[in-house]
A and B are shown apart, each in its own frame.
With several copies, the nearest count.
Chain A
Amino acid sequence: MAESTTLGKALNRALHDALAEDPSVVVYGEDVGPLGGVFRVTDGLTAEFGEDRCFDSPLAESGIVGTAVGMAMYGLRPVVEMQFDAFGLPAFEQVVSHVAKMRNRTRGRLELPMVIRVPYGGGIGGVEHHSDSSEAYYTHTPGLRVVTPATPSDGYSLLREAIGSPDPVVFLEPKRRYWAAEETALPVRTEPMDRAVVRRAGRDATLIAYGPMTATALEAADAAAGEGLSVEVVDLRTLSPFDDATVAASVRRTGRAVVVHEASAFGGYGAEVAARLTEQCFHHLEAPVLRVCGLDVPYPPPKLEEYHLPGVDRILDAFDRLQWEREWTSTGPAEVRG
């Protein structure tokens, strides 16, 4: 029976169900035990499954990821949490040099079915180091799957799939959407992990988003519709590997594309999206693929983050720069592209 569930609760339920179904799943990290995590995503798990299945570790991210590598080598399915995105950085060597490479190194003899959960992104008024978006570091690293849900049902389904995956998954949780609710009946299975989905159909332009920006993208599409512009919104869901088929098909249809993310533009994930779509859809493009991203500055303090984060207005501005053949009027373009 469908009921209103938040992303945070859906993730919690996914961990719960994974622990219940598979004894090889263990959940650990900083404050994930009795406290239930600083965002309560692991709430109640220690109480229900015991200290043996969900527990607090010493405070050391490289150690957390490194021990998870060892557990996964042994056949467990560890799910570890980096408390905030920036605090995953101490583990970066483990992630790049081992998590991503162990299968390759051993020609498939050692696989690492592990999940690194990372609450990421801003918009929560967090002080320095609490609002970063590091997806570009992870997605540039072959061997990792990088997944990020935008909705509670995807949160549940993608996390279950990530835990079941034979490959290591960096699971990026858009922390400002933890409290976003949706009517859904859990357990639920949504589209498979490596598939992007069209969240809203449109004819005139494709807006590509993921994680925290999906909701913003949908809002922007709504606003654009009010001005007569029909925008298709694609939610990537999995950042690596990239679902070229779905996204390129949309862009070929609309002929215009904007990609949006919170991370800084320069060398950001949106560059890859823009570059590969341009390679694949060049003759369908009426305008360059535009990026609406965070500024190329360190993440600002809370009171200035609004200047940094892409919002509806900046997305609408980007639509304006898509080199329409005619001026837009309030009732839409004089000539609509097929």
Chain B
Amino acid sequence: MKPSRTAHATAQAPPLPSAEPIALVDRTGRRTGQSALAGPDQDVLTELLRGMVVGRRFDRQAGALARQGRLAVYPSSRGQEACQVGAALALGGRDWLFPTYRDSVALVTRGVDPVEVLTLLRGNWHSGYDPHRHRCAPQCTPLATSAPHAVGLAWAARRAGEEAAALVLMGDGATSEGDAHEAFNFAAVWRAPVVFLVQNNQWAISVPVHKQSAAPTLAHKAVGYGMPGLHVDGNDAAAVYAAVGGALQAARAGAGPALIEARTYRMDPHTNSDDPGRYRDPADDRYWAERDPVDRLEALLRAEGAVDDAAMERFAAEGERLAARVRERMAAEDDLSPGDLFEHVYASVPEHLRRQREDLSAAFGED
């Protein structure tokens, strides 16, 4: 270990991210013809559209359940389907996903049982799915804190010789946290196979992104870590898929981490209990509605003849079936196990928790 005397000055500065987000498909559904990203083929585009239609339906169903009080809370993904579906489909089978509370649609797209996805928000347990099964970490609530987990896991996977990368989803607001910085830095120094996808949906609850950062784009943050930064149109599923897929592939191949900012918009309130009327201009909603990620891809694929009414109806029907299944299963009795409270604190139940468990069952006369 001989540190060079001019150590870090020898590193190459990657190119700066573009101020304007890269899009493959513009808001009217036309291919932009730009060449910075390799566009996915039509089959993939069709999958992306299908995923977004189904995901949006799931999201609407979850919102309804929240309004009915069947979920404690629901943070909607509406408007961000291109990010979440694009990112989830870009993942390889051995890759890991690190989602936040908002990324239910990404999890559903990844194949996780939708009812298990909702366990956290339903209030039955803190997480419902087996993280190993689909290689999805539990949804993370404390902002940016799962980013270093992804770095550690990805580092370990590479060390084990696995060709796997980790994808971290985070919001614009989360980039302000110290943990985001530490994760970016560890990833870059360790050249860990991690891709950080910042869904810049313009808002952190009520705080607009210009109060989070004075940088030209959030992707510019990459420069300070010596990793590539890319700024893409987050309402263009093709661009997100291409950018994330490319970065994951590079990461798996040993090129190290990357930071991607996807510029999108949270169409709904922060959660069902939020009141955006207090802080944002409805004109913004209209501006972004014209840039809807689903409409845009549908327009392209219809124009190119890859999907037609029948296809769209198939996707819609798939969404309806999924929604119906979710409704049905969520109507079932809760499967609650107070005993679990003691079971999973340590690998085995220590004496003092055994006593507390006994007291509890005495008090509640059960279990």
Contact = CB atoms under 8 A, between A and B. Distances in A.
A and B are partners in one complex rather than unrelated chains = yes
Given A60-B176, A63-B185, A125 B123 contact: yes
A194 B354 CA distance: 15
B106 to A, nearest CB: 18
Nearest to B204: A59
A56 B157 CA distance: 19
A62 B205 contact: no
B211 A56 contact: yes
A106 B341 contact: no
Contacts of A33: 1, 206-207, 279
Contact of A60 (B123, B178, B340, B350): B178
B129 to A, nearest CB: 9
Contacts of B206: 31, 33-35, 56
B7 to A, nearest CB: 14
B363 interface: yes
Interface residues on A, range: 35 or more
Contact of A242 (B181, B204, B344, B352): B352
Contact of B340 (A58, A75, A107): A107
B117 interface: no
B288 interface: no
Contacts of B352: 241-242, 244, 266, 296
Contact of A105 (B127, B166, B338): B127
Interface stretch (A64-72, A177-185, A196-204): A64-72
A245 B352 CA distance: 10
B26 interface: no
Interface string A224-253: 000000000000000001101100000000
Contact of A58 (B153, B154, B212, B344): B212
A192 interface: no
A3 interface: no
B177 interface: yes
Contacts, number: 246
Interface stretch (A11-19, A153-161, A306-314, A327-335): A306-314
Contacts of B101: 127
A173 interface: no
What 3 pairs across the A-B complex have the smallest Cβ distances?
A70-B152, A66-B148, A63-B182
B367 to A, nearest CB: 10
A303 interface: yes
A98 B145 CA distance: 8
A86 B142 contact: yes
Interface in A119-176: 125-130, 142-143, 145, 165-167
Interface in B305-364: 334, 336, 338, 340-347, 350-353, 356, 360, 363-364
B341 A307 contact: yes
Contacts of B8: none
Nearest to B133: A109
Interface string A54-92: 001111111101111111111110100000001101100
A104 B182 contact: no
Contact of A297 (B145, B342, B364): B342
A30 B205 contact: yes
